[in-house]
Amino acid sequence: MSDPQPSPQSVIAPALDLARVPSHIAIIMDGNGRWAAARGLPRAAGHRAGLEAVRRIIEACREYRVRVLTLYAFSTENWRRPPDEVEALMRLLGEALVDELEDLMEAGVQFRMSGDLDTLEPALRKQVEQVVAVTHDNPNLVLNVAYNYGGRAEIIDAVRRLGRDLASGHIIPQAVDEAVVGRYLYTAGLPDPDLLIRTGGEQRVSNFLLWQIAYTELYFCEVYWPDFDKPHLAAAIAEYQHRRRRFGGIEDA
Ligand code: FPP
């Protein structure tokens, strides 16, 4: 991991082709801890500043007419962090669900969660379920928060449930294809991400959406997540618009 230096902040927003904005953007929001360390602040302050960046990016995604935004907010591996940091992250989610509901409704944002919700504290889980239910019909943007999420755990969970349905005869082995597997994942019903952004300078996928990113364009940037703003998002989308997506073939349209 690199030293906690201030992350590069100034980027000039490039012009975008608004007809070719990715439908689904997924983000690994990395660098909160280093952002805080560079300022002599506790890690929790970095996560709190990260939530401000989440607000800005939701707004920018609405403006660019992105359909789905998936944010990696807490991984199955994050339980290994110090208990006070885990507690701060859980508290932040709870607070955000209360504080943001009105804005989500006003902005027409549908809230979804991908991850193992069974091990969340019952009160937090209930809060999540309520916000999911209340925002269900909002039409503008799906905000899919990956929480207590791990790509391998998601696949194991899907295999178990699919196995049960095969054993009971609910589905026959010959009928199992990519679309069927997709329906057993936490992201059932959502399109695969077109663009995956990772902030904070690391270049790996860290167990995020392993099945879903088979043909996703990857974009890595140095900026720490709390500094990530609309021009950085625009730069990522502009880079995406320069790529040729071939999906294993020889040329796209
Ligand atoms: C990774 O940075 C970030 C996280 C594990 C948490 C992300 C959470 C938020 C941005 C706020 C909550 C968001 C919602 C939607 C409720 P890191 O801590 O690994 O940073 P480092 O690599 O610099 O240590």
Bridge partners (DSSP) of residue 112 are 144
Protein residue closest via CA to atom 22 of ligand 1: 31
Instruction: Ligand 1 pocket test: pick from 1, 7, 32 the residue with the most ligand atoms within 8 Å of its Cβ.
Output: 32
Q: Are strands 217-220 and 68-75 parallel, antiparallel or unpaired?
A: unpaired
**Is 19-141+191-204 in CATH node 3.40.1180.10?**
yes
Q: Does residue 239 contact residue 218 with C-beta atoms inside 8 Å? A: no
Who's near 15: CB < 8 A, 6+ residues apart? 238
Pocket around ligand 1 at a 6 A CB cut-off: 29-34, 47, 50-51, 54, 71, 73, 78, 89, 92-93, 96, 145, 200, 225
Alpha helices in 80-221 (DSSP H): 83-107, 122-134, 151-167, 178-183
User: Which residues are designated catalytic?
Assistant: 30, 78
Which atom of ligand 1 sits closest to the CA of residue 50?
10
Burial class (CB in 10 A: 0-12, 13-18, 19+), 188: exposed
Which atom of ligand 1 sits closest to the CA of residue 46?
18
Report the pLDDT value the prediction gives residue 119, as an integer from 0 to 100. Answer: 84
pLDDT in tens, 153-203: 999 999 999 999 999 999 999 999 999 999 999 999 999 999 999 999 999
pLDDT in tens, 75-128: 999 999 999 999 999 999 999 999 999 999 999 999 999 999 988 899 999 999
Which atom of ligand 1 sits closest to the CA of residue 93?
16
| pLDDT band at residue 252 under the 50/70/90 scheme | low
Q: What is the DSSP letter of 32?
A: H
Instruction: Calculate how far, in angstroms, residue 120's C-alpha sits from the geometric centre of ligand 1.
Output: 18
Which atom of ligand 1 sits closest to the CA of residue 4?
23
pLDDT in tens, 60-79: 999 999 999 999 999 999 99
Report the pLDDT value the prediction gives residue 245, as an integer from 0 to 100. Answer: 79
Instruction: Calculate how far, in angstroms, residue 47's C-alpha sits from the geometric centre of ligand 1.
Output: 5
Rounded Cα gap, residues 240 and 22, in angstroms: 8
Q: pLDDT: is 249 or 227 the higher one?
A: 227
Look at residue 13 and tell me whether its pLDDT is greater than 90.
Answer: no
Instruction: Ligand 1 pocket test: pick from 35, 47, 90, 92 the residue with the most ligand atoms within 8 Å of its Cβ.
Output: 47
Rounded Cα gap, residues 182 and 142, in angstroms: 18
Protein residue closest via CA to atom 18 of ligand 1: 33
pTM of the model: 0.93
Q: How many helices (H) and strands (E) does the chain have?
A: 7, 6
